[in-house]
Amino acid sequence: MSTRSPRSGPRVGLLLTGILLVCGACGGGGAPPDYTAEELEAAKARLRDHARLRTFETGKVFGDEWVARAPHDAELRGLYAYQLVGWGLSREVHEQADAILADDPDDPWGLYTKAYALLVEGEAKPAHEMALKAWEASPRPEFAFLYIQALRRDDFEAAREFLEALDEESRATPEVFRMKAELESQARYELQDPTWADSSRATWTEFGEMFPDHVLGYMRLANEAYNARRMDEWTPLMEAALDLAPGSMEVRRQHWRGLWMSELLPREERHPAVEASMGAFREASPETLRGLNGMASMYREMDDEESAAELEARVVERDPGSYHASMVYLAEMRGEDEKLYELREEHGEDSPEYRAQLAVVRDAVHDYLDRPLYGDTYKGGAYINLYSALKAMDPVPAEELAEAIRGMVEYERLNPHITYGDAPLAMIDHTPYALEAADLVREGVPIMLERVMESRDFYDTEGEFDQALRGALSGIYDVIGWAHFKAGRTEDGRHTIERALAIADRNRDARYHLGQVYEQLAAEREEEGDAEAVTEWLDQAEDSYIAGFGAGRGENPNETALEALYERRNGGREGIEEYLATLDERDRIRRRERILESRVEAAGTYEPFHLARLDGELVDSADLEGKIAVLHFWGTWCGPCVVEMPEYQKFDERYREDPEVRVVSISNDRTNDVIEEYLAKNNFDFTVLVDDDYVDRAGVNAWPTTWFVDPDGYVQFVKIGTALKLDEEFSWRVEAIREDTTSP
Give, as one character, the DSSP assignment of residue 33: P
Amino acid 701: pLDDT: 83
Whether cis (ω within 30° of 0) applies to the bond prior to 372 is no
Amino acid 743: pLDDT: 66
Quote the mean pLDDT of the chain: 90
Amino acid 313: pLDDT: 97
CA distance 703 to 311: 36
Looking at the predicted structure, is the pLDDT value of residue 430 above 90? yes
Amino acid 413: pLDDT: 85
CA angle 73, 77, 78 (to 5 degrees): 115
Cβ contacts of 350 within 8 Å, gap of 6 or more:
none
Residue 19 confidence class, pLDDT cut points 50, 70, 90: very low
Facing residues of 410 across strands?
none
Q: Where are the alpha helices (DSSP H) in 392-507?
A: 398-411, 416-417, 423-430, 434-454, 462-486, 490-503
Looking at the predicted structure, is the pLDDT value of residue 583 above 90? no
> 3-class SS at 263?
coil
Looking at the predicted structure, is the pLDDT value of residue 703 above 90? no
Nearest 5°: phi and psi at 724?
Answer: -65, -50
Q: With beta carbons less than 8 A apart as the criterion, state whether 73 and 17 touch.
A: yes
What is the identity of the amino acid at 306? E
Amino acid 227: pLDDT: 85
* Mean pLDDT of the 549-557 span: 64
What pTM was computed for the model? 0.69
Rg for the chain, CA atoms, rounded: 30
> 3-class SS at 213?
coil
Q: Which segments of 223-293 are extended strands (E)?
A: none
CA distance 344 to 348: 4
Amino acid 461: pLDDT: 44
**H or E segment to which residue 169 belongs:** helix 168-171
CA distance 722 to 63: 51
CATH 1.25.40.10 residue ranges of the chain are 1-151
**H or E segment to which residue 630 belongs:** strand 628-634
* Mean pLDDT of the 465-485 span: 89
Looking at the predicted structure, is the pLDDT value of residue 433 above 60? yes
* Mean pLDDT of the 116-137 span: 94
* Mean pLDDT of the 294-310 span: 95
Q: With beta carbons less than 8 A apart as the criterion, state whether 629 and 665 touch.
A: no
Q: With beta carbons less than 8 A apart as the criterion, state whether 304 and 297 touch.
A: no
Nearest to 291 by CA among 65, 95, 60: 60
More confident residue, 725 or 690: 690
CATH 3.40.30.10 residue ranges of the chain are 610-742
Amino acid 500: pLDDT: 94
Structural class in CATH, domain 610-742: alpha beta
Looking at the predicted structure, is the pLDDT value of residue 290 above 70? yes
CA distance 291 to 270: 20
Amino acid 3: pLDDT: 34
Label residue 405 exposed, middle or buried (CB < 10 Å: 0-12, 13-18, 19+): buried
Give the CB-side neighbour count of residue 266, counting CA atoms within 13 A.
2
Nearest 5°: phi and psi at 707?
Answer: -105, 140
What is the pairing mode between strands 628-634 and 661-667? parallel
Q: With beta carbons less than 8 A apart as the criterion, state whether 632 and 644 touch.
A: no
CA distance 221 to 228: 11
* Mean pLDDT of the 527-538 span: 95
Label residue 135 exposed, middle or buried (CB < 10 Å: 0-12, 13-18, 19+): buried
CATH superfamily membership of 1-151? Tetratricopeptide repeat domain (1.25.40.10)
CA distance 744 to 685: 36
Amino acid 92: pLDDT: 96
Whether cis (ω within 30° of 0) applies to the bond prior to 704 is yes
Label residue 423 exposed, middle or buried (CB < 10 Å: 0-12, 13-18, 19+): buried
> 3-class SS at 714?
strand
CATH of domain 225-318: 1.25.40
CA distance 39 to 18: 11
Facing residues of 449 across strands?
none
Q: What is the pLDDT of residues 614-624, one digit of tens each?
A: 998 999 999 99
Range with the poorest average pLDDT among 300-309, 415-424, 633-642: 633-642
Cβ atoms within 10 Å of 540's Cβ, excluding its own: 17
CA angle 44, 46, 49 (to 5 degrees): 115
Cβ contacts of 315 within 8 Å, gap of 6 or more:
289, 292, 293, 296, 322, 324, 325, 328
Looking at the predicted structure, is the pLDDT value of residue 12 above 80? no
Amino acid 580: pLDDT: 82
Q: What is the pLDDT of residues 132-182, one digit of tens each?
A: 999 999 999 999 999 999 999 989 999 999 999 999 999 999 999 999 999
Residue 281 confidence class, pLDDT cut points 50, 70, 90: very high
Amino acid 24: pLDDT: 40
CA distance 265 to 673: 13
CA distance 497 to 480: 8
Q: What is the pLDDT of residues 389-417, one digit of tens each?
A: 999 999 999 999 999 999 999 999 888 98
Q: With beta carbons less than 8 A apart as the criterion, state whether 57 and 246 touch.
A: no
Looking at the predicted structure, is the pLDDT value of residue 702 above 90? no
